[in-house]
Structure 1
């Protein structure tokens, strides 16, 4: 037992002063008040309203966390986030140390989700939507205008499911994982079905297919969709994942954290990328060649969709894995040829490889899905990673995602504004 821990033990059963808290933490009294302002400690006024008092257990827990964490995590570099979920290294990526592409090729989306959340693989697991939250989500989504985007429907479904769950504020690991197992199928169940003869049982990929395509799927196509979901469950701290961690840092419940991720995902620079690649491939197929389509993209000052990735100098491993499955998908030939034509055309001037957005676009075009289908696949898949990151963040000190603003406006004091004549 350290001297600090021994000291803390003598204070059990009573509250301690600011000076004592500072000694236990090994900091100045001013720093103790900084912890209070950040929400890392709770204080009460002392007897007679003089000074502040603190719970010794809470102070000891903070001292333990501070000893555990690198100094950078408590100072200027608050957004350097320690994680055990995903590592991206040398054009490969890993889930809990396991090659993620190999994991996705060998295991179902739901099995990969369990691995990400718990570190345990549960063969054959399927997620099911409870009747009450699923019914509430369907009703809410049905009330939306027909032109709503998929992320609108998914966000409304998540919020409706939250309203139907009185236990949503339970942030224990067991409760959050249980929520995740029901939230994801509830979100899928709330989407309007496109396939007339669909079932709401079995693997989640089959239920999602029925919401994206009116064609009856073959085994290879369903396997490709299931693998695409598994490949996309997480990719380190993408913008939407960071938003989820900020929400979880403020102790938002998992439904709200997922809603935060969906809000960021809807941006054109994140979740919509596969839709742009989908439309490009359709145009290539219509025109019979990629050259004029690529020229039009560049003439408009846009990047060619589906090419390059800032985290991979070489090929995107997610695209590699998915393209391998598309090779054996019966109806993927034309879209695959169009994608290869795009890559070959741009390769004349720049060394950019296909990324997962292009592979996902081949899947959606070949399956008779709309351009927005890729965004839906991405959102459903990434909800798994968002929950995993929320679980990690719930174990950290609250409100740590609080960067300091650098004020660049006019220095005070300034005169009060006057009313302008109109």
Structure 2
């Protein structure tokens, strides 16, 4: 009853790393994580492409943290409705928001609302089997545009260019396999406003694109030039240099003639999405280097006939009930993880970690340093924090039960995990995801 009680909103990598850092500190601490989904692991489970099992191995490290004494998981609990900030302040000495960034950023161009124009975030959730996304996804375009120059754009392009058969050994749900089986896409065009020196691809993600069976990566030699300022930026960062060399190599090689193609276009700004009742094309304006490392519009336009457009231009956070929100940057306002209001006044005992703190930048591993900063602030504040009046851990369970919340637990996740692995084993996979929320909850609570 005397331990420092900390509630974490979320159970993705940032939340788990924060819990791990707290548990490894010298403090006597108990941590409870509240996750809106019935299963933990957030971005790793619902944001990493199914053909990237290497990245998904991070789950093993996260699993070990949640399996430790001193940490509890409450899944299928919606913050703001099932449990509120006031409830958490009543039962915990400190609250850490770790809700990440799930919404795709908006693109302000004409035609963006046409049917066939999609936010990449929803498409990623579809192929990753997110329980709150419809299971049907229309894939009827032979030529598709993807807007963006980051790893999500690569993931979307790669999945669109892949065959259902090629992904049959992954954990994709049956509904995703069925959707991809009728996907007629042969050409996927990826458009980036700036040049290759400013592409945000990670080198490994980029190289993997060239190893998808039956898919050829096409780069126009005219797109791989850059000015002196950009050249200096390339030389200053090893990972950028690797990306540039890869793209330049692809631009110079002979075509292979594969049946499906991913075209990587640089210096290409989407000016508008074309169509009347549905996406029929995309108009691209050519950009050029200014001589100062940036690019400017040229007034040269090209129309590409495409039947669908996917916007992969970044993620943004969502407002959390009872907490301030920086709408411009899509994050919680903070100083070293300490949340403050719009007037700059700190909210004692309230903290942020992960993408909801710093925005959707960096890879999953970068979250560890972010968690260390936030936890350091929390522990420095701990002696002065007022203690929550309700300190019995059982009172949290009782509160959720009184409200009729069908919450899941770590034991429930272990049951769901075993069930999914069993489904996968029957098909020669590591797992097959259970998608419907009600099924996840039932298996977790009765398995």
Q: TM-score, normalised by structure 2?
A: 0.22
TM-score by length of 1: 0.23
**Structure with more relative contact order (C-alpha pairs < 8 Å, separation 6 or more):** 2
Indicate the structure (1 or 2) with the bigger Cα radius of gyration.
Answer: 1
Task: Determine which structure has the larger helix proportion and give its number.
Answer: 1
- Please state which structure has a larger fraction of its residues in strand: 2
